[in-house]
Amino acid sequence: MIAIVDYELGNLGSVDKALRRVGCDARLTQEAESILAADGVVVPGVGAFGDCMRNLNRLGLAEVIRESIASGKPFLGICLGLQLLFEESEESPGVAGLGVFEGQVKLFRHDLKIPQIGWNQIKIHNTPPPHLADVPDGSNVYFVHSFHVVPADPNIVATTTDYGYEFVSSVRSGNVFACQFHPEKSQHIGLRILDNFRQEVARQAGGAP
C-alpha cells in the first residue's frame, strides 16, 4: 500500500488518480498508523509553504513524515512536497520546514514570468535514480511554481531545469525522490516516473514489480 499524505491542501485527487492508473494501491490518509505501516509514502503539494507546514504540524504529520523517511521506505515528494523537505522558504519567513535536507527554498529572481507554468525540460545529473529509469535526458515535464529549492549538498541533485537560470528540479537521496514538476500532469513521462516509484515500492516490500 502507498499512503498519500492528506494534509488538507494540494492536488491530492489528481495524484491519487495517476498512481492508481499505474496500478498502485494508493490511499489518501491522515492517520499516522496507516502512513507508518505503508510500503511507500507520497507527499503532494500545491499551496503556500507556511500553510502546508502549519497543517502538517496541526495534524501531527510532520514527525510522521520524518519517521517514514528515516525508516527507509520509498518516499516521493511532488512540487511543494519537495520544498517542504528543506529547512526554510523565502515564501514563509520564520516557518521551519521538515529539515530532511539542508538548504533553502528561494523565489525565482529573473525577468521571466512567475510562476513558471507549463512544460520544460529536465537535465539528468549524477547517477540517475531508479525513478528516472527509461526517462530520456531532456524530457519535458509540467511545472507550476514560483519558488525552487537550493540544496546545500550538490550530490542530491537528480535533475536541473533552465528557467531564466538553471535550478534544481528534483533531488534524490537514499529512499527519497522528490521533484518540483508534477508527474501526475506530465503525460507518459510522468506516468513512467510514477510507475518506476511503484516498482521501487514493490521491490522494497519484497513483492513482484
pLDDT over threshold 80, residue 5 = yes
Q: Give the residue-averaged pLDDT of 77-84.
A: 96
Task: Assess whether pLDDT exceeds 60 at residue 208.
Answer: no
Residue 108 corresponds to which cell in the numbers above? Answer: 525565482
Give per-residue pLDDT as tens, 92-115.
Answer: 999 999 999 999 999 999 999 999
The chain-wide mean pLDDT, for the chain, equals 95
Which residue out of 125, 131, 148, 182 is catalytically annotated?
182
Question: What are the pLDDT digits (tens) for 176-192?
Answer: 999 999 999 999 999 99
Please report the pLDDT score of residue 207 as a whole number: 63
Over range 158-168, report the average pLDDT: 98
Higher pLDDT, 22 or 45: 22
Residue 89 near residue 147 (C-beta atoms within 8 A) = yes
Task: For residue 79, indicate whether it is catalytic.
Answer: yes
Q: What's the CATH number of domain 2-205, 3.40.367.20, 3.40.50.300, 3.40.50.880, 3.40.1190.20?
A: 3.40.50.880
**pLDDT (0 to 100) of residue 127:** 85
The band of 91, judged by pLDDT with boundaries at 50, 70 and 90, is: very high
Q: Which of 88, 91, 184, 200 is catalytic?
A: 184
Catalytic residue among 79, 91, 145, 179: 79
Does residue 182 have an active-site annotation? yes
The domains of the chain are located at 2-205
3 state SS for the chain: CEEEECCCCCCHHHHHHHHHHCCCCEEEECCHHHHHHCCEEEECCCCCHHHHHHHHHHCCCHHHHHHHHHHCCCEEEECHHHHCCCCEECCCCCCCCCCCCCEEEEECCCCCCCCEEEEEECEECCCCCHHHCCCCCCCEEEEEECEEEEECCHHHEEEEEECCCEEEEEEEECCEEEECCCHHHCHHHHHHHHHHHHHHHHHHHCCCC
